[in-house]
Amino acid sequence: MTIHILPEIVAAQIAAGEVVERPASVVKELVENAIDASADHIHIDVEEGGQRLIRVSDNGHGIPSADVATAFLRHATSKIQTLSDLDHLNTLGFRGEALHSIASVSRLTLITRHRDEQAGTRIVIAGGKTQDQRPVGAPAGTVVTVEDLFFNTPARLKFLKSATTERRQITTLVTNFALAYPAIRFSLSHDSREVFRTYGGGKLADVLPVVLGAEAFRHMLEVMPLPASRPDLPEIRVSGFVSAPDYHHANRTQITLFVNGRLIRDTALAYAVTQAYHTLLPQGRYPIAVLMITLPPEEVDVNVHPTKAEVRFRSPDAVFAAVQRAVRSAVISQAPPPEVRPHPDVQWRNMAWSTRRDMAPARADSNESSRQSSLGLEIDSPGYHGQHVASAQPGAPGSAADDDEAFLAGIPEGMGRPSQPRTLPMLRVLGQVGAAYIVAEGPAGLYLIDQHAAHERILYEQFLAEAVARQSVAQQTLDSVTVELPLRDMALVQEHLEQLAGLGFELEPFGATTLRVRAIPAMLARTDPTEAVRLVLADLEVGAPPGQRKLEEIIALRVCKAAAVKAGQVLSLTEMQAIIRQLERSQSPHTCPHGRPTLLHISAEQLARQFGRT
């Protein structure tokens, strides 16, 4: 092939890929344009997740009729003149690429009337070619309709996710705009159904409950801008809301940051937010935050990324410190002092050995017969709502006994499962060490079994076996349990209703931010259903990493982890036997579903060698 310049249309389609990746990117660019045009009403209509149609209507200043055609040329913008204008940018757009790119990969109709003009203009462009342009009557403002996105770039069309996924992306995006611009009235409709609306009251505190749900909002603390720490540093203002230390999330996805009204991704700043809770949050938990960071435009370079999602700060350390200081101050000044609660994994160490010795095997032996009879029946236990909630306090003998009964709920009847082939030799339970390990003897030596890992393995295989056999997973049905969820989580749940049902979660959307929990997997019967739903949400949010486990498996892992007996829990002999008998017939008894070992084996030879007998 000879070297040649690509036809303009082809070049435009390639360039469009950078800006317009999916329907949500179109919505983002069009809403940014509406905000830049000083609109205070912005309506977004979406059909079929945006693949059929996206329409953004605004009441901004509009485009003068003489400029309409120009607006669609590549690098056409009214927002900057020279590169140095970027130093004091106060608009979201500046690259002059969006309209050009969108028009080259869709059928676009724009109707606009500039505030100071009598007549409006309508222009129709399909696949980058202008089809029609004429004067029309129109209210001041702009309406852009994008139809059949990617109709002329089949490769891109193929990569689009399902309509529900795209819908969710768009909902999240629009709610983020609404948070950043509380003075603008937003409304969003999917397939003619309104899913979201704000009233333009001007305060973040008005919008946040709509987005997060009223329940979560009750746990939020206001972050007030602090006076500058040093006069020689740029003025950095941080405001917004963060969760109180007793309300947290399993990952960082609920930390939402805006810099000068622009949603950004910034791992360092998300870390600054988490750092501000130093020691106040349980390990591995993260806060919920919506923060507005305002600083002089010359302090930020927004021209790092075509979609402008990443920014570069002139003084990143100063921004980091400002965020951390503002959040810390909100958390410290408004949060009640945290409860002192030792980590369950270390609790057993503090417990006197004598207590443990008396509690474990002795108790089991004393009422072996009654315990035995209750074992297989535990699956019908009334669960969380009908019974005492496990208090997981090994120090209190009374409650520990109740716990024993409850955790076995996950072990099905006929606990030996003789139908399964044996994968370990028959073991005899001798006792428990550290309230975490089961000591057992086998024909070939001594075994130490991690009780949590082993139980996780057992539950996991059971769970998957049920799911694979396409039987429904055993369920615990519930009456009148509702969970309040942020709007974006609701969308997430809605998207996965079927998958979740297959895993035993019967959920029903009930109002915009309320979910009715009709059933949860039986093995979670002991767990607070609200907590159970939140656990699973965290996984949905992160999604399945490409090429690795399926989402169902990740959720099954999560459920089993929550349902498995914990380290630090004192077990009776019968309970230990139940675990061991199940493990003996597990498909992969040597590792937990996360891949850690479940058991250590010290052979008779090793013992003999160590004791100098050979």
Task: Return residues touching ligand ADP (CB under 6 A).
Answer: 29, 33-34, 37, 58, 60-63, 71, 76-79, 93-100, 142
Find residue 300's DSSP bridge partners: 313
What is the b/e burial string over 99-137, where b = at least 16 CB atoms within 10 angstroms of the residue's CB?
bbbbbbbbbbbbbbbbeebeebbbbbbbbbeeeeeeeee
Least separation in angstroms between CB 33 and Mg ion = 4
Q: Is 131 or 307 the residue whose CB approaches ligand ADP more closely?
A: 307
Q: Is 149 or 291 the residue whose CB approaches Mg ion more closely?
A: 149
Please give the C-alpha separations between residue 278 and each of 249, 333, 582, in angstroms, as whole numbers. Answer: 15, 14, 41
Least separation in angstroms between CB 383 and ligand ADP = 54
- Beta strands (DSSP E) in 383-493 are 428-433, 437-442, 445-450, 475-484
Q: Is 98 or 571 the residue whose CB approaches Mg ion more closely?
A: 98
Among ligand ADP, Mg ion, none, partner that 62 touches (CB below 5 to 8 angstroms by kind): ligand ADP
Of 33-41, 118-126, 349-357, 408-416, which part binds Mg ion (CB under 5 A)?
33-41
Least separation in angstroms between CB 450 and Mg ion = 56
Q: Is 308 or 371 the residue whose CB approaches Mg ion more closely?
A: 308
Using CB under 5 A, count the residues that bind Mg ion.
Answer: 3
Among ligand ADP, Mg ion, none, partner that 94 touches (CB below 5 to 8 angstroms by kind): ligand ADP
Q: Which three-class secondary structure state does DSSP give residue 299?
A: helix
Q: Is 33 or 572 the residue whose CB approaches Mg ion more closely?
A: 33
Least separation in angstroms between CB 115 and ligand ADP = 10
Least separation in angstroms between CB 491 and Mg ion = 25
**207 class by beta-carbon count within 10 Å (0-12 exposed, 13-18 middle, 19+ buried):** buried
522 binds Mg ion (CB under 5 A): no
Binding mask 529-558 for Mg ion (x = CB under 5 A): ------------------------------
Residues 500, 498: Cα–Cα separation, whole Å: 5
The label of the residue with tokens 């979560």 reads 216
Of 28-36, 178-186, 256-264, 409-417, which part binds Mg ion (CB under 5 A)?
28-36
- Tell me 589's DSSP state: T
Least separation in angstroms between CB 96 and Mg ion = 8
Q: Is 33 or 254 the residue whose CB approaches Mg ion more closely?
A: 33
Residue type, 353: W
Residues 299, 340: Cα–Cα separation, whole Å: 42
The footprint of Mg ion on residues 75-94 (CB under 5 A) is 93
Q: How many residues does the chain have?
A: 614
Among ligand ADP, Mg ion, none, partner that 63 touches (CB below 5 to 8 angstroms by kind): ligand ADP
Please give the C-alpha separations between residue 562 and each of 375, 448, 456, 528, 580, in angstroms, as whole numbers. Answer: 20, 22, 9, 11, 19
- Please give the span between the terminal C-alpha atoms of the chain, in angstroms, as a whole number: 79
Q: Is 95 or 488 the residue whose CB approaches ligand ADP more closely?
A: 95
Least separation in angstroms between CB 174 and ligand ADP = 16
Give the CB-nearest residue to ligand ADP.
93
DSSP for 349-367, written as a single string:
HHS-HHHHHHHHHHHHHHT
Least separation in angstroms between CB 93 and Mg ion = 3
The label of the residue with tokens 């965290």 reads 538
33 binds Mg ion (CB under 5 A): yes
Q: Is 98 or 408 the residue whose CB approaches ligand ADP more closely?
A: 98
Residues 574, 570: Cα–Cα separation, whole Å: 12
